[in-house]
């Protein structure tokens, strides 16, 4: 057999093996979705064992010695751009997974499955002390994993790399250092102004879900390949032909449901928009959480909270709920973008959102470095929040228990939300230049041109390019925080007559 034939055979065997691994990973994701939506509460312990078993199988496949042999056999091969990208992802996953003992991978899956249930119970009871012991165990395991992955480097950097390849804490710190002063200064000016009127009263939760389904379709979510369900914390799951999302409802806050839905639809449309030829390959999912968040945030904010789109949404809301008690579509736009003192990240306005992320970034770095003990997280959170926002956290569900992320071990994930906002700012500026009729379209509830632009320039590529390269190719320049900050300052200065 010639060298070329050997390389071709190795590539075919490797990609066939990877196809099965991707399918098994999809099953694991479906189990996680079920746990959040439909699983009986009493099944948590058993589900933890099931997830640990499946994690062990996936870990064994991802560290199979044949992968190293196949990768070595393809060295020097003339590869297409697509195959070269597939091998880049496989090699990266193989190298990282080889550093993590199978025992640790299984234990992480088991403990985080259990921890998620304990977090939900503690959140419902506002009882951080009940959650602290299992959180400490999750932190310990992730510290061990970070140390193994870092190979002598910074273990928090190693964890960030799980969600945003090529990104470091130092880069994030520099980005936040650029953003924080402008955001704080603008926030101070805005909060000195009278707050616009918000929605009051109660809004039928079944009607909220019906409107959420309509909004999902409006933004291009294909419900023949997806589902919309309810969960404690909204999320998106899956890829290819099975992409599921959740939202939540509040009788007094329909915006929570509607904008959580639009946000998760952004994630889901990214997955549904990937080139179908990439299904069940390493290219068949979003390339990073930062790029993923760029899609959810631009759907939710630059499109969904724009003056043009909210004018259309005002009509949908009045058709669904009747008189909203607001003086027309401009007052509704102001209500949607209302800046107020609050506690919840997912309900935060665009101006304050990134300040919530910066708080979490600093606290989780301290947890992973060992400078902050899990038992002290609540007091550290409350102290930092009051310093940053100027008022005290009254209970844990409005503070350190509000997010699911740390309960399931997602350390290094939070900063990708702000990175996604930065990416979205760049994409939005470029999109506006490319689509001069954008506002007139959105005023009719027509997102087709905007979502098609994002699908062509970002979504279809899946994992073909590196994260920052995706944004650079779409925008013609490397991503910076400038466009986002300019957009936020212009929007809220106009809204609050600064």
What is the tens place of the pLDDT at every residue in 284-341?
A: 999 999 999 999 999 999 999 999 999 999 999 999 999 999 999 999 999 999 999 9
Q: Are residues 176 and 62 part of one domain?
A: no
107 and 174 housed in the same domain: no
User: Cα(351)–Cα(371) distance, rounded to whole angstroms?
Assistant: 30
Q: Which of 10-24, 95-109, 270-284, 410-424 comes out lowest in average pLDDT?
A: 95-109
Q: Same domain, yes or no, for 349 and 484?
A: yes
- What lies within 8 Å, CB to CB, of 491 at 6+ separation is 337, 350
**What are the residue numbers of the active site?**
264
Q: Which of 162, 193, 228 is the last residue of a domain?
A: 162
Check residue 44 and give its pLDDT. Answer: 84
Of 106, 136, 162, the last residue of a domain is: 162
- What would the pLDDT profile of 222-268 be if each residue is shown by its tens digit? 999 999 999 877 899 999 999 999 999 999 999 999 999 999 999 99
Q: Which residues contact 215 (CB under 8 A, 6 or more apart)?
A: 258, 261, 262, 265, 313, 316
Of 162, 196, 217, which residue constitutes the final position of a domain? Answer: 162
φ/ψ of residue 246, rounded to 5? -130, 160
What the block records as the tokens of 171 is: 């880069």
- For the segment 195-210, the average pLDDT, to the nearest whole number, is 95
- In DSSP notation, 151-191 reads TTS-HHHHHHHHHSTT--HHHHHHHHHHHHHHHHHHHHHHH
Segment 401-414 shows an average pLDDT of: 95
Indicate if the pLDDT at residue 108 is higher than 80: yes
pLDDT exceeds 80 at position 94 = yes
Q: Per-residue confidence at 51, pLDDT binned at 50, 70, 90?
A: confident
Are residues 346 and 430 both part of a single domain?
yes
Number of domains into which the chain is organized = 2
Of 469, 495, 483, residue with least CA distance to 179: 483
Q: Given a cut of 90, is residue 13 above it in pLDDT?
A: yes
> Quick one: pLDDT at residue 1?
56
Same domain, 156 and 13: yes
Confidence at 366, pLDDT banded by 50, 70, 90? very high
Cβ 434 vs Cβ 450: under 8 Å: no
Shared domain for 146 and 240, answered yes or no, is no
CA 173 – CA 423 distance, rounded (Å): 16
Whether residue 102 sits in one domain with residue 214: no
> 109 with 178, same domain?
no
Average pLDDT for 81-98: 94
The mean pLDDT value for 56-75 works out to 92
Q: Is 267 annotated as a binding residue?
A: yes
In this predicted structure, the answer to whether residue 36 has a pLDDT above a threshold of 90 is no
Please determine, for residue 5, whether its predicted confidence score (pLDDT) is greater than 80.
no
What confidence score (pLDDT) does residue 2 get? 67
297/52: higher pLDDT: 297
Residue 137 annotated as lining a ligand binding site: no
293 carries a ligand binding annotation: yes
Joined together, the tokens standing for residue 471 give 């944004």
**Helix, strand, coil percent content, the chain, rounded in steps of 5:** 70, 5, 25
Give the residue-averaged pLDDT of 172-192.
95
Q: What is the rounded radius of gyration, in angstroms, for the C-alpha atoms of the chain?
A: 23
Cβ distance 269 to 459 under 8 Å?
yes
Evaluate the CA torsion angle 429, 430, 432, 436 in order and state its sign.
positive
Cβ-Cβ contacts under 8 Å for 306 (sequence gap 6 or more): 439, 442
97 and 237 co-located in one domain: no
Mean pLDDT of the chain: 94
pTM of the model: 0.92
Tell me, yes or no, whether 121 and 179 share the same domain: no
pLDDT, residue 495, reads 96
Of all helices (H) and strands (E), which one includes residue 229?
A: strand 226-230
Its domain, for residue 383, covers 169-495
Residue 236: phi, psi to the nearest 5?
Answer: -120, 145
Percent of the chain topping pLDDT 90: 85
CATH number of residue 347's parent domain: 1.10.1370.30
Q: Is the dihedral of CA 127, 118, 372, 342 positive or negative?
A: negative
Query: What is the b/e burial string over 228-237, where b = at least 16 CB atoms within 10 angstroms of the residue's CB?
Result: beebebbbbb
Is the pLDDT at 3 greater than 70? The verdict is no
Do 185 and 256 fall into the same domain?
Answer: yes
Q: What percent of the chain has pLDDT over 70?
A: 99
What's the confidence (pLDDT) of residue 76? 78
Whether 304 and 260 have beta carbons less than 8 Å apart is answered as no
Q: Are both 135 and 79 inside the same structural domain?
A: yes
Dihedral pair phi/psi, residue 242, rounded to 5°: -140, 90
């Amino acid at each position: 057999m010639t060298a070329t034939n050997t390389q071709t055979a190795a590539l075919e065997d490797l990609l066939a093996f990877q196809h099965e691994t991707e399918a098994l990973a999809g099953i694991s994701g479906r189990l996680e979705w079920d746990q959040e939506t439909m699983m009986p509460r009493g099944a948590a312990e058993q589900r933890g064992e099931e997830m640990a078993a499946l994690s062990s199988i996936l870990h064994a496949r991802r560290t199979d010695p044949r992968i190293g042999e196949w990768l070595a056999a393809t060295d020097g091969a003339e590869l297409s751009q697509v195959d070269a990208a597939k091998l880049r992802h496989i090699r990266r996953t193989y190298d990282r997974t080889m550093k993590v003992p199978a025992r640790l991978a299984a234990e992480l899956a088991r403990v985080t499955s259990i921890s998620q249930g304990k977090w939900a119970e503690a959140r419902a009871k506002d009882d951080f002390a009940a959650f602290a012991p299992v959180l400490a165990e999750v932190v310990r395991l992730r510290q061990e994993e970070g140390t193994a992955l870092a190979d002598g480097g910074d273990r928090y950097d190693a964890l960030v790399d799980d969600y945003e390849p090529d990104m470091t804490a130092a880069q994030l710190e520099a980005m936040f250092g650029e953003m924080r002063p402008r955001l704080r200064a603008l926030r101070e000016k805005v909060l000195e102004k009278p707050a616009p009127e918000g929605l009051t009263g109660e809004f039928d939760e079944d009607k909220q879900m019906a409107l959420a389904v309509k909004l999902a379709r409006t933004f291009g979510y294909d419900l023949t390949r997806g589902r919309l369900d309810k969960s404690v914390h909204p999320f998106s799951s899956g890829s290819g032909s099975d992409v599921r999302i959740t939202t939540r409802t509040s009788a007094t806050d329909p915006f929570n449901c509607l904008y959580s839905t639009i946000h998760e639809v952004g994630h889901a449309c990214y997955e549904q928009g990937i080139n179908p030829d990439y299904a069940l390959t390493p290219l068949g999912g979003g390339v990073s959480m930062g790029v993923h968040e760029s899609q959810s945030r631009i759907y939710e904010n630059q499109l969904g909270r724009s003056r043009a789109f909210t004018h259309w949404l005002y009509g949908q809301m009045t058709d669904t709920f009747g008189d909203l008690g607001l003086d027309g579509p401009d007052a509704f736009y102001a209500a949607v973008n209302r800046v107020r003192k609050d506690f919840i990240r997912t309900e935060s306005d665009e101006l304050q959102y990134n300040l919530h992320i910066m708080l979490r970034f600093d606290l989780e770095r301290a947890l992973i470095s060992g400078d902050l003990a899990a038992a002290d997280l609540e007091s550290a959170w409350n102290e930092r929040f009051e310093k940053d926002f100027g008022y005290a956290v009254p209970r844990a569900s409005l503070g350190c228990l509000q997010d699911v992320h740390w309960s399931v071990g997602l350390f290094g994930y939070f900063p990708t939300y702000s990175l996604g906002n930065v990416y979205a700012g760049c994409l939005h500026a470029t999109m506006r230049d490319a689509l001069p009729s954008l506002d007139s379209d959105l005023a009719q509830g027509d997102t087709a041109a905007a979502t098609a632009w994002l699908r062509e320039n970002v979504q279809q590529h899946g994992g073909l390019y590196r994260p920052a390269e995706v944004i650079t190719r779409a925008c013609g320049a490397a991503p910076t925080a400038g466009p986002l900050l300019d957009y936020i300052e212009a929007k809220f200065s106009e809204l609050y007559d600064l």
